[in-house]
Amino acid sequence: MHLLGHLVRFIVSALMLLVVSWVVPGFSVGGFWSAFFLALVIAIAAWVIEGIFGRKITPFGRGIVGFLTSALIIWLAQFIVGGVTTSIIGAILAALVIGIIDLFIPVKTPFERGASGRGNAK
């Protein structure tokens, strides 16, 4: 994915986080830039966790562990990104709503992209 593709992905993720903050009680994002940096922090944390523990524990994993990891990352990100506040319940509900949105609007993860990326060109 090129730089423009990453930028579009983070803009869409930021807009999704703004919608989620509007829907979920106990989870608030101060504005677009807070949402953009929150999306960036979530992506970096997911990349690091995937590199250390594998795909099943990341937020992109579809099981309960991936869901709980996603909620934990959202809760911890409030301490890194200004303008983001959430409670534990708010982080869990936000992870649930994000997971539901992801069912309808899936985003390819770096793991999936590697399986179908340039290395497989014939």
- Model pTM? 0.74
Report residue 18's pLDDT band, with 50, 70 and 90 as the boundaries: very high
Which pLDDT belongs to residue 116?
A: 47
pLDDT interval class at 85 (50, 70, 90): very high
Query: Which residues, 6+ apart, have CB-to-CB distance to 99 below 8 Å?
Result: 67, 70
* Weakest mean pLDDT among 33-37, 83-87, 103-107: 103-107
Q: Report the pLDDT averaged over residues 30-49.
A: 88
Angle (nearest 5°) at CA 68 between 32 and 63: 110
Q: Give the pLDDT band of residue 111 (cuts 50, 70, 90).
A: very low
| Residue 35 to residue 19: CA distance in whole angstroms | 10
Quote the CA–CA distance of 46 and 73 in Å, as a whole number.
8
